[in-house]
Chain A
């Protein structure tokens, strides 16, 4: 199996419809996207359908990914996945209600599913879980809830300026955990 270390090369091969590149994409990012979907929709059957839809969308839209802009393909895929999940939740009548969301963010993954995580991730996951619950909750609402600052304000009754600051602080905290400098 070929390893694609260079993003531009991977994108070029994907755009050419190269099957090895497609497999590489699925094997490397499928788990991350599936984890995101599970977190967002909280239902494995829906998640299975969504993962198929999302990869179909990624392959469909790969030609519009502009590698010359220097943005990350992985982030682009996460965005596609997240937006698809938001659409799905809306079609199921997701409304911005604090009770539901509290439930959503506090529910942990099914333990059977979680055992598939790799060792590196477990260590980092523990550190992330030890972050201040206040900041962790903001990150989860933002990344796994797919909510905007304004929606979080509506959900939590925390003023918009405070939400922005909290999310910003949470991002800075995450950078320390992940050693991003």
Chain B
């Protein structure tokens, strides 16, 4: 869908009028970042509605004014968001902890098998067996070294996802043919790191690949290609980005393109603005 078709689809009228769904609202806001003509159209629709409502204005009964204004200040000040509520978008730790468990178990069982082997050597004291077992031990060691580095990686990830400077952004579907498409992004405001996990995206057809974009100052910026073989438990490290307003994923020809193909947008999500 190009911007003109998008404008004609009627979604902008629904957005301004107020009956668009939260998902549609997010989509419109993101599209208005990307396309100035959509932003302009929104502004015209807003002005038209405002004027139309204005010319039907009716003065309210005078006694309502003091009723309404008496507690206005109190209402506003009592509902000021606190620091705690504004840091809501730090990612949920539970998911990460659950994800760590299998690795811990693997590491623990590797350690146990190493212990069993060492224990075995002492008992059996058989030269031939020792030789065979040494090879096993070596293999186990290599295995546990690999696991250790995996573990370190996970711990670093856990630390990053819990840091107060990170944002978790859920990218939800904008594609009617992929209603369950869902991708999560962790973006660190300090290091500008972007980590991505695909929860659900349709398998990319041969010759095609998903590409991640950030919208920065209204312009799409390439953040790299998604690994087509990644599973839903894999975390992918993407290109760094400063001050993104939104993230989006499009399906492009393998290797990527310099600017996104709008009709092939699958998911998008806005970066929450700090209050």
Complex contacts, A68 vs chain B, CB 8 Å: 273
Distance A147 CA – B79 CA, assembled complex (angstroms): 31
Q: From B17, B46, B58, B76, give the contact of A62 (CB < 8 A).
A: B76
A113 & B73 in contact (Cβ 8 Å cutoff): no
Complex contacts, A144 vs chain B, CB 8 Å: 56
B13 & A52 in contact (Cβ 8 Å cutoff): no
B57 & A32 in contact (Cβ 8 Å cutoff): yes
B76 & A59 in contact (Cβ 8 Å cutoff): yes
Distance A70 CA – B68 CA, assembled complex (angstroms): 27
B57 & A178 in contact (Cβ 8 Å cutoff): no
Known: A48-B61, A52-B68. A39 touches B19 (CB 8 A): no
A125 & B64 in contact (Cβ 8 Å cutoff): no
Distance A125 CA – B48 CA, assembled complex (angstroms): 13
B52 & A143 in contact (Cβ 8 Å cutoff): yes
Distance A149 CA – B13 CA, assembled complex (angstroms): 9
Complex contacts, A79 vs chain B, CB 8 Å: 17-18
Q: What is the minimal beta-carbon distance from B60 to any residue of chain A, in angstroms?
A: 4
The A-contacting residues of B in range 39-55, CB under 8 angstroms, are 39, 42-55
A22 & B72 in contact (Cβ 8 Å cutoff): yes
A164 interfacial contact with B, CB 8 Å = yes
Distance A23 CA – B243 CA, assembled complex (angstroms): 36
A14 interfacial contact with B, CB 8 Å = yes
Output the nearest chain A residue to B8 by Cβ-Cβ distance. A168
How would residues 59 to 86 of chain B score, 1 for a CB under 8 Å from any chain A CB and 0 otherwise?
A: 1110011011101111111011100000
Q: From A14, A15, A19, A178, give the contact of B69 (CB < 8 A).
A: A19
B205 interfacial contact with A, CB 8 Å = no
Complex contacts, B273 vs chain A, CB 8 Å: 66, 68-69
Q: What is the minimal beta-carbon distance from B69 to any residue of chain A, in angstroms?
A: 6
